[in-house]
Amino acid sequence: MRSSILLSASLLFPLAMSACEREFLAAFTSLYLNAQTVGNSSLLTNYMLQNYTYSENFTPANLSAPTSILNKPLNSTNSRVFLDPYLCSAFTEIIVPEPSHPYVLGVRIEGNGKYVTKMETLVSDEGDWLFNATSTAYWSSKESWTPIPLADRDTRDVIKAAGDAYFNRFGNVNITVPFGTPCARLEGGAYTDTNMTNGETCHLGLPSNVYVQDRRYVVDVEMGSVNIYLGFPGLDRASETPAPDSHTFRVEKGKIRYVHTISTCEHPGCGLNGTYIPIGGGKKGARGVATTRLRSMKRGM
């Protein structure tokens, strides 16, 4: 199976045009997932530009080093891929609920249509914000992220604007976020619609004086999704540096349907010492959720 994936990916790469095609991004993503499964970063070498850049949790790293997450075999049970030919970028969400060492990864790439020029990997595990890979896998499996029917697809601008409105609202209370009903949020392992009522909204408390900058986008019109990489100010209460963070939004008919987050912290527990309120976000109860974080952020800023 793995050899067939490698062969199909290899056959696609020579056909990729410099204009960047969806097939190029899909082929590299398939190859990446195989490389991560077997823990062999060298499988990607021929498809990376000579002077590519690589980082883990926004810190420059060596892709081929033994300490690279790509050189650790990981058995992913859930993954989602989003492709953006317009920006020649892609994002992959990877959930690894291995009891020995669970992870949730986010991988964002940029390319030129022939080679990958940049890879940014977010590695979240125990001690990161609301981390619970088993719960993440469970709730993610209950959601529907199928391609949007052609007649119902939003434009690229509408999808991107929905994600931007969410973060713009952090610094301006007059901005309206287009949350739909239903809307469910998966933050770490905490989920906001544990009863699967399809009547919940995502209108949680939001800060009013947090300015989120340095956003990097992957907009997949076919999937109705936008992924945004950013530095999250105040997430790690023990650090003055914005925390490496990823938010992925599913947008249906202009309204946000799902939100997935991957948030990493420099300090265990994000400097909160476990002081957040459970909302039943795990499969049988989970740790806290965004409202506590955001209220504490508002008090501290």
Q: What is the mean pLDDT of residues 204-223?
A: 91
Asked if the model's pLDDT at residue 17 lies above 50, the reply is no
CATH number at residue 42: 3.10.450.50
In this structure, the answer to whether residues 146 and 101 fall within a common structural domain is no
In this structure, the answer to whether residues 48 and 101 fall within a common structural domain is yes
Q: Is residue 277 part of a domain?
A: yes
Q: What is the mean pLDDT of residues 180-205?
A: 89
In this structure, the answer to whether residues 145 and 292 fall within a common structural domain is yes
Q: Is residue 195 part of a domain?
A: yes
272 within 8 A of 296, measured Cβ to Cβ: yes
Of 125, 155, 184, the residue at which a domain comes to its end is 125
Asked if the model's pLDDT at residue 150 lies above 80, the reply is yes
205-214, 245-254, 287-296: range with highest mean pLDDT: 245-254
Place of tokens 């926004």: 58
SS3 category, 45:
helix
Q: Which residues pair with 285 in a beta bridge?
A: 283
In this structure, the answer to whether residues 155 and 57 fall within a common structural domain is no
In this structure, the answer to whether residues 159 and 264 fall within a common structural domain is yes
Q: Is residue 236 part of a domain?
A: yes
Q: Is residue 132 part of a domain?
A: no
Domain that holds residue 76: 2-125
Give Cβ neighbours of residue 197 (< 8 Å, ≥ 6 apart).
182
Q: What is the pLDDT of residue 198?
A: 84
In this structure, the answer to whether residues 21 and 162 fall within a common structural domain is no
Place of tokens 């022939």: 114
Q: What is the pLDDT of residues 91-120, one digit of tens each?
A: 999 999 999 999 999 999 999 999 999 999
Report percent pLDDT > 90 for the chain. Answer: 70
In this structure, the answer to whether residues 46 and 156 fall within a common structural domain is no
In this structure, the answer to whether residues 157 and 121 fall within a common structural domain is no
In this structure, the answer to whether residues 35 and 160 fall within a common structural domain is no
Closest CA to 252 of 166, 164, 145: 145
pLDDT band at 273 (very low <50, low <70, confident <90, very high): low
**4 or 283, which is more confident:** 4
In this structure, the answer to whether residues 155 and 292 fall within a common structural domain is yes
Asked if the model's pLDDT at residue 292 lies above 90, the reply is no
154's tokens = 């939003």
Give Cβ neighbours of residue 278 (< 8 Å, ≥ 6 apart).
285, 286, 287, 288, 289
User: Residue 152, CB half-sphere, CA atoms under 13 Å: how many?
Assistant: 10
Would you call the peptide bond into 149 cis, given omega within 30 degrees of 0 as the criterion? no
pLDDT band at 257 (very low <50, low <70, confident <90, very high): very high
What is the rounded distance in angstroms from the CA atom of residue 231 to the CA atom of residue 177?
20
In this structure, the answer to whether residues 156 and 283 fall within a common structural domain is yes
Place of tokens 């900058």: 213
Q: Is residue 53 part of a domain?
A: yes
Distances (CA, A) of 106 to 58, 111, 123, 252: 12, 17, 7, 22
**192 or 288, which is more confident:** 192
Q: What is the pLDDT of residue 275?
A: 54
Global pTM? 0.86
For residue 160, the one-letter residue type is K
pLDDT band at 199 (very low <50, low <70, confident <90, very high): confident
Q: Is residue 231 part of a domain?
A: yes
Q: What is the mean pLDDT of residues 245-249?
A: 98
In this structure, the answer to whether residues 35 and 154 fall within a common structural domain is no
What is the rounded distance in angstroms from the CA atom of residue 162 to the CA atom of residue 157?
9
Give Cβ neighbours of residue 32 (< 8 Å, ≥ 6 apart).
44, 92, 107, 109
Of 80, 101, 125, the residue at which a domain comes to its end is 125
Q: Is residue 130 part of a domain?
A: no
The tally of domains found in the chain comes to 2
Q: Is residue 131 part of a domain?
A: no
Give Cβ neighbours of residue 154 (< 8 Å, ≥ 6 apart).
148, 221, 224, 251, 252, 253, 254
Asked if the model's pLDDT at residue 271 lies above 90, the reply is no
Asked if the model's pLDDT at residue 123 lies above 90, the reply is yes
